[in-house]
Amino acid sequence: MTDDRRTELAANLEAVRERIVRACEDAGRDPAGVTLIAVTKFFPATDVDLLAGLGVTDIGENRDQEASAKLADVAVRADLQVHFIGQLQSKKAGSVVGYADVVQSVDRPKLVTALGRAAQSAGKVVDVLVQVNLDEAPGRGGVPPADARALADAVAHSASLRLRGVMAVAPLGSDPAPAFARLQEVAGAIREDHPEADWISAGMSGDLEAAIAHGATHLRVGSAILGTRESHR
Ligand SMILES: *Cc1c(COP(=O)(O)O)cnc(C)c1O
C-alpha cells in the first residue's frame, strides 16, 4: 500500500517537475528560481512523509485544525517549510504561528496585528505574503490590488513579521495570464518600497505554466501531485 502510494506520488511529482522545467525554458528562467510547494490538504501525514522522501521541501495547508493535527504526526517535520495558504480568522493566528513558517494568506490589517502579536509571544519571526484578490468578485480572500501596498507596509512595520512578497489565486473560469500579469505589477510596486519582498506565489495544478511566465517564484500544487481531493474526503 505505502509502496504503491510512493510510486504514484513519485510519478506525479516527476511529471510536475518536468512541466516546471519546460515552462522555465519557455520563459527563459532558471528552474532553481521556482520553489514547488506540495499542497497536502485532505491528504494524510503519511503522504507528507513520502513526499519529503522524494525531495519535497515545502508543503501547503489551508485549514488550521487539519494542519495542526497532521503536522504533529509528520515524522520529518523539521525538514519541511510549512506554508499556510487558507483563509484565516484572526483568532486562529496563535495556532497557525505555532506550526507555520510562512503565512501566505494575509489580506487585512486586523490579521497583520493578530499574527504580529502571536509571533511575538511565540518568540518567532514569521514570513508573510500579502494575498491579492485578482477576481472581480470578492469573497475568495485577498486584498484588492489598490490596497496591497498599504497592507505590505503594515506587515513590514511589524517587528515579528517578515514581508516576503505576494500570493494570489487566479480567477475561476477565465484565462489566468492577465491576472498573473496584474499580480506581477503589484509585486513590482511593493518591491519599490521593500526590495527584499521578492516572492510571487502563484500557479496551481492547472495554471502553473502561466504563473511561471509571469514571474512566479513559488507554485502551490495539490491535485497534480496528490490526486483528486474528492476521493479522499
Ligand atoms: C488547494 C489550493 C491549491 C492547490 O490547488 P490544486 O489545483 O489542487 O493544485 C493552491 N492554492 C490554494 C490557496 C489552495 O487552497
Burial of 91-122, coded b for 16+ CB within 10 Å and e otherwise, reads ebbbbbbebbebbbbbbbeebbebbbbbbbee
Work out the pLDDT band at 2, boundaries 50, 70, 90: confident
169, 204, 223, best to mutate for ligand 1 pocket (most atoms within 8 Å of CB): 204
Provide the percentage of residues in the chain whose pLDDT is more than 70.
97
Number of the ligand 1 atom closest to the C-alpha atom of 229: 8
Specify the residue with its C-alpha closest to ligand 1, atom 5. 222
Distance 222 CA to ligand 1 centre (A): 5
Work out the pLDDT band at 136, boundaries 50, 70, 90: confident
At the fourth CATH level, the homologous superfamily of domain 2-226 is: Alanine racemase (3.20.20.10)
By the 8 A CB rule, do 20 and 31 touch?
Answer: yes
> Which sequence spans correspond to the domains of the chain?
2-226
Cα–Cα distances (Å) from 131 to 107, 170, 195, 217, in that order, read 5, 11, 18, 15
Sorted by sequence, the CB contacts under 8 Å of residue 224 that are 6+ apart come out as 12, 15, 16, 205
Take residue 3 and report the three cell numbers written for it.
509502496
CA-closest candidate to residue 20, choices 193, 220, 157, 159: 220
Does 148 have pLDDT greater than 50?
yes
Cα–Cα distances (Å) from 186 to 10, 49, 83, 84, 87, in that order, read 35, 35, 21, 21, 20
For residue 108 and ligand 1, the question of a CB distance below 6 A is answered with no
pLDDT tens readout for residues 21-35: 999 999 999 999 999
User: How open is the CA angle 30-33-161, to the nearest 5 degrees?
Assistant: 165
Residue entry with cell 497536502 = 40
Cα–Cα distances (Å) from 57 to 48, 80, 124, in that order, read 10, 5, 20
Mean pLDDT within 138-150:
90
For residue 205 and ligand 1, the question of a CB distance below 6 A is answered with yes
For residue 169 and ligand 1, the question of a CB distance below 6 A is answered with yes
Does 138 have pLDDT greater than 70?
no
* pTM: predicted TM-score of the whole model, two decimal places: 0.97
Asked which of 11-15, 157-161, 227-231 is least confident by mean pLDDT, the reply is 227-231
Work out the pLDDT band at 137, boundaries 50, 70, 90: confident
Does 198 have pLDDT greater than 50?
yes
pLDDT tens readout for residues 47-85: 999 999 999 999 999 999 999 999 999 999 999 999 999
Take residue 35 and report the three cell numbers written for it.
520553489
Work out the pLDDT band at 233, boundaries 50, 70, 90: very low
